[in-house]
């Protein structure tokens, strides 16, 4: 018998959760903890472990599109030992995670191996920007993954090579902010830039935007309510306690900037409670959620979570992570469920034709029956 319920399903919204992928505790590359998929419940403000990644990834890029989450590039565990080691350096792999079934699928790989890359998803595409390859070269290349075609193609190269930048979808363009360019060390400091460029995926073109008022790398760039925001991150620093022979380092910051179109400039909106960089960031509605990262002190790793509301400009603490975590990424994932409609959303015809039965059906109080 023809079942009208099959023809008019409903997509029911079931809520949103924050997922965290990759990274480590900043001390050891424990395979068990590094592969954990973490979930943050916004209602209870608690973290839990919901799955396991196929492999360890440090400094990956993570985006969500449709019913899936994509984990792109990043480095294998203990990447600091030898960047040229094939089992420890950057990867060109991309994995697709489906939260509804807690399952993984390996997608076609990128053309280049990348860590410290930036990425965004929009209009049926996943776009990746810059990063560092297995030879520690800083990249200016752009790769675009067509989700339906399941293939990669090359996009217009960035104006400058960068790693540690951040990509934010704002309207129909992707804003790439900050990062470290070549040469990566100048006068004993990391060469962190203030530049912001916007990429148009349809025109395949870059345009220069207003530069940030501060230098930032390993920060959180995110678009909320049509506004690009830059949250915390690292600036170049010199620690005078160290000797001149010590390598340069980063200074963690806690300020939150937003680009205000009405005044055509970046404006400092608020401060996080804890300075941080190389942390996770996601947005739900008007709220930006940050967690983990490196802190203000040398070798300080954080497990704290903070919530920032862009309208009230208030920052408040959230639930603590299960462990300290750095060099990871977060995304907000919205859950939907496809269920049979309880009421037909359109006017159902009195008589219709069922191609499977090859006959006309009459609508009755008990449903459709053959004439």
Contact 333, 19 (CB under 8 A): yes
Contact 212, 193 (CB under 8 A): no
In CATH, what number does 13-345 get?
2.120.10.80
Is 205:199 a contact under the CB 8 Å cutoff?
Answer: yes
Residue positions counted in the chain: 371
The tokens for 312 are 């009230």
Distance separating alpha carbons of residues 222 and 249, to the nearest angstrom: 25
Please choose, from the candidates 301, 347, 348, the residue with its C-alpha nearest in 3D space to the C-alpha of residue 327.
301
Tens of pLDDT along the chain (371 residues) come to: 444 444 456 778 788 999 999 999 888 888 888 999 999 999 999 999 999 999 999 999 999 999 999 999 999 875 444 444 445 689 999 999 999 999 999 999 999 999 999 999 999 999 999 999 999 999 999 999 999 999 999 999 999 999 999 999 999 999 999 999 998 888 888 999 999 999 999 999 999 999 999 999 999 999 999 999 999 999 998 655 444 456 678 999 999 999 998 889 999 999 999 999 999 999 999 999 999 999 999 889 999 999 999 999 999 999 999 999 999 999 999 988 777 655 544 445 555 555 555 555 666 656 666 66
218 touches 233 (CB < 8 A): yes
Per-residue model confidence (pLDDT) at position 365: 59
The whole-number pLDDT of residue 78 equals 53
For residues 102 and 39, give the distance between their C-alpha atoms in angstroms, rounded to a whole number.
12
Phi, psi values for residue 7, rounded to 5°: -95, -15
Q: What pLDDT score was predicted for residue 245?
A: 53
At a CB cut-off of 8 Å and minimum separation 6, what does 297 contact? Answer: none
- Break the chain into its structural domains and give their ranges: 13-345
| Neighbouring residues of 319: CB distance < 8 A, sequence distance ≥ 6 | 40, 44, 45, 46, 47, 305
DSSP conformation class of 45: T
DSSP label at residue 179: -
Q: Which residue has the tokens 């920032």?
A: 308
Report the alpha-carbon distance of residue 25 to residue 6 in Å, rounded.
48
**What pLDDT is recorded for position 28?**
81
Q: Check residue 8 and give its pLDDT.
A: 52
pTM of the predicted structure, to 2 decimals: 0.86
Strand order in the sheet with 36-41: 46-52, 36-41, 9-21, 329-340
Q: What are phi and psi of 32, to 5 degrees?
A: -65, -50
């Amino acid at each position: 018998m023809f079942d009208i319920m099959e023809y008019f399903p409903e997509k029911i919204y079931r809520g949103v959760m924050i997922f965290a992928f990759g990274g480590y505790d900043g001390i050891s590359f424990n395979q068990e903890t590094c592969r954990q998929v973490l979930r943050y419940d916004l209602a209870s403000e608690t973290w839990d472990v919901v799955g396991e990644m196929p492999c360890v990834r440090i400094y990956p890029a993570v985006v969500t599109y449709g019913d899936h989450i994509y984990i792109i590039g990043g480095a294998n565990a203990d990447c600091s030992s030898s960047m040229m080691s094939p089992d420890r350096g950057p990867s060109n792999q991309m994995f697709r995670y489906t939260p509804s079934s807690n399952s993984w699928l390996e997608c076609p790989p990128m053309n280049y191996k990348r860590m410290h890359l930036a990425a965004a998803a929009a209009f049926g595409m996943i776009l990746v920007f810059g990063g560092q390859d297995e030879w520690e070269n800083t990249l200016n290349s752009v790769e675009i993954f067509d989700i339906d075609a399941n293939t990669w193609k090359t996009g217009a190269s960035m104006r400058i090579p960068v790693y540690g930048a951040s990509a934010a979808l704002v309207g129909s363009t992707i804003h790439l902010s900050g990062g470290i360019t070549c040469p990566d060390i100048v006068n004993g400091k990391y060469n962190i830039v203030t530049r912001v460029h916007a990429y148009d995926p349809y025109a395949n073109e870059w345009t220069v935007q207003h530069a940030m008022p501060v230098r930032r790398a390993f920060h959180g760039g995110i678009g909320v309510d049509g506004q690009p925001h830059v949250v915390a991150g690292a600036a170049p620093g010199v620690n005078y306690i160290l000797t001149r022979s010590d390598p340069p380092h980063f200074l963690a910051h806690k300020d939150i900037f937003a680009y205000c179109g009405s005044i055509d400039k970046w404006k400092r909106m608020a401060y996080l409670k804890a300075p941080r960089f190389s942390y996770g960031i996601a947005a739900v509605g008007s709220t930006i959620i940050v967690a983990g990262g490196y802190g203000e002190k040398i070798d300080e790793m954080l497990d704290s979570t903070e919530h920032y509301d862009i309208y009230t400009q208030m920052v408040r603490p959230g639930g603590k992570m299960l462990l300290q975590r750095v060099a990871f990424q977060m995304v907000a994932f919205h859950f939907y469920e496809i269920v049979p409609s309880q009421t037909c959303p359109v006017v159902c015809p009195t008589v219709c034709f069922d191609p499977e039965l090859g006959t006309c059906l009459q609508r009755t109080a008990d449903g459709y029956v053959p004439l």
